[in-house]
Structure 1
Amino acid sequence: MDQRTPDVRPQRVPENHRTVDRVTRILEEVVYNPGMTFAELVRALDAPKSSIHGFLSGLLAKGWLYEVNHRYYLGPAVYGLTLASGHVRAGLVTHSDLVKLHEETGLAVFLGVQAGDHLIYIAEAGSDAIAGFEARTNIRRTLLATAGGKSLLAARSIVERESYLRRRSADESELVNTFLQEFDEIMRTGLATNTGLRSPRFAVAASVRNQNGEAVASITLVGPAADMKERVPQLGEILLRHVDSWSHRTMAPREAI
């Protein structure tokens, strides 16, 4: 009988790598402090400016970060990994769920998640040429400029919400005022609405909550304003019924979105 000597070599212990450490540290800083400036990142990492600049350029190029007004936020590439993992952690909403909602309402359906100070659409179902084109060509929208973003912002704690509103620039003052005027109604109904700035489109959205009650995503129905505005009560009832049913699911993996 062939008796082989077992491999008794010691298992390699993982070692830190300076480059990897700095890249992951940048991502961690931006996750917990969205909107950091270059100077703030340099101070946080205590590393040469040239080194940090090179890492930031690479992360921006690959979509791990994005930059707005010289401030850095977590990019859409992170959410691509979530999709590729086989399930969306944001309430485990499947593509089949989106299709069913589309079929019942006859409207385009968008699934969005918050990334830093912005909303990113990560999945859709249904056909709306204008809304679909806008979602794909402008994947990063401020929370205040979208129904889905407003629903997520309203669900945040008062500390998080006020911190977000204080960070808005003067250019967004009108959006801030509009949100504050709509806030009580969003909290009362669980629904946020928005009218397109560049197109005759209307949107109604609700937050998707996990089993702990945390708002982790938004679902938005989009269609012609002339048709949707008259149907808001009916559409809102349908939307909330679907979203509430998803929130009671376990965290077992499901079909990929």
Structure 2
Amino acid sequence: MVLGVDRDRDDALAPNDLDTVLGKAVAILRAFGADDRILPLAELARRTGLAKPTVHRVAGDLVRHRLLEKTEHGYRLAGGLFELGMRAATERTLLEVAMPFLQELYERTHETVHLGVQEGTEVVYIAKIGGHRQARSPSRAGGRMPMHCTAIGKALLAHAPSEVRTAVLSGPLARRTPQTVVAPGLLRQQLERTLETGVAYEREESTIGLLCISAPVLDPDGRTALAAISITGPVGRFRPELHETALRATAAALSSTLARTRL
């Protein structure tokens, strides 16, 4: 699990946030993208809009607190961020409990397996398991995707509070591929179907060439999704319908186990 920052988020800092030391520090940390290893001082200043002397001063404080590491060519995220992330009790417990179930599902399918949770109107991927034949996918542990174009997102959205569903269905549905569902009425029908069948599908809606099936991990009352599990594979080889039974069984077993842990 990658616990750091994600520049793909829609909740970018407002200009006023940069007036505080904490806001400046967060802006610097969030300046790192998923593929960034080291960023020079000048690039951090460009991405944050902060003056170079300010970035240098705040970055120095972050280095002293082990949240950044200074290198010959710039700065990189440090291990202190991972340590803090691992103290997030709910996500840590969820991952620890879920991992055996995810590994077993991977062994049964040998396809890419994800575990995701809802945050706002997005999916946050908590875990991703895949072997040498895994499908190429933009998802990553610690990354985010819109709920409306992913199978995990639809499984979560179908069981989300009414205000979350309203926010998604009433807002613009970004088209990520030609297959993305952008009509609120059609998406609503898919969510109703998910409630009936217990599974959600994505057919090249987030990434061309990928198919996905997902099932929610429900709380004891059977209404709210604590998380969702998905199986992903490539078009032409992967037949998601064949995995419905195994996926529903895995999600139900994890739900029962989580209920006993009182997550």
Residues 1:134 and 1:36: Cα distance change in structure 2 (over 3 Å):
closer
In the superposition, the TM-score normalised over structure 1's length comes to: 0.62
Task: State the distance in 1 between where 2:147 and 2:215 align.
Answer: 13
Distance 2:152 2:249 in 1: 17
> Which residue of structure 2 aligns with residue 56 of structure 1?
23
Q: Distance in 1 between matches of 2:111 and 2:262?
A: 29
Letter in 1 for 2:214: A
Question: Hey, what does 2:182 align to over in structure 1?
Answer: 175
**Distance (whole Å) between structure 2 residues aligned to residue 94 and residue 82 of structure 1:** 15
Whole-Å separation in 2 of the counterparts to 1:145 and 1:79: 32
TM-score by length of 2: 0.61
Q: Secondary structure, in 3 states, of the residue corresponding to 1:134? A: coil
Q: 2:227 aligns with which of 217, 223, 233?
A: 217
Task: Give the deviation of 1:142 after TM superposition.
Answer: 0.4
Using the TM superposition, name which of 88-97 and 166-175 deviates more.
166-175
Query: Which is richer in helix?
Result: 1
The structure that has the greater radius of gyration is: 1
Shift of the 174–135 alpha-carbon distance from structure 1 to 2, 3 Å rule, reads closer
Using the alignment, how far apart are the partners of 1:202 and 1:61 within structure 2? Answer: 36
Work out whether 1:102 is the aligned partner of 2:106.
Answer: yes
Note the alpha carbon deviations across 1:148-203, whole angstroms, 9 max, x for none: 00110111133331123223367589434342231221111111111235442210
1:244 positional shift: 0.4
Q: Deviation of residue 94 (structure 1)?
A: 2.9
C-alpha distance in 2 between matches for 1:109 and 1:189: 20
Instruction: Give the Cα separation in 2 of the matches to 1:107 and 1:235.
Output: 10
Distance 1:61 1:163, change over 3 A: same
- Secondary structure at 1:242's aligned position in 2? helix
Compared CA separation, residues 118 and 150, structure 1 to 2 (3 A): same
Q: 1:156 and 2:160 equivalent?
A: yes
| Counterparts of 1:222 and 1:132, CA distance in 2 | 10
Is the 1:210–1:216 contact (alpha carbons within 8 Å) kept by the matching residues of 2?
yes
Picking from 196, 215, 224, the partner of 1:188 is 196
Following TM superposition, by how much is the alpha carbon of 1:59 offset from its aligned partner in structure 2, in angstroms?
2.0
Alignment coverage as a number of residue pairs: 199
Task: Tell me by how many angstroms 1:136 deviates.
Answer: 2.7
Compared with structure 1, are the counterparts of its residues 62 and 37 closer, same or farther at alpha carbon in structure 2 (3 Å cutoff)? closer
What does residue 38 of structure 2 align with?
none
Q: Percent identity?
A: 22
Aligned partner of 1:208 among 210, 217, 231:
217
Question: Is 1:111–1:220's contact at 8 Å kept on the other side of the alignment?
Answer: yes
Q: In 2, are the aligned partners of 1:90 and 1:113 still within 8 Å (CA)?
A: no
Decide whether the 8 Å contact of 1:152 with 1:207 is kept in 2: yes
| Distance across 1 between alignment mates of 2:225 and 2:90 | 21
Residue aligned with 2:211, SS: strand
The one of 238, 245, 248 aligned to 2:253:
245
Partner of 1:81: 85
1:98 Cα deviation (Å)?
0.8
One-letter amino acid of the counterpart of residue 182, structure 2: L
Q: 1:192 to 1:82 in 2, by over 3 A?
A: farther
Provide the aligned C-alpha RMSD in A.
Answer: 3.7
Q: Which runs of 5+ in 2 are unaligned?
A: 1-9, 34-80
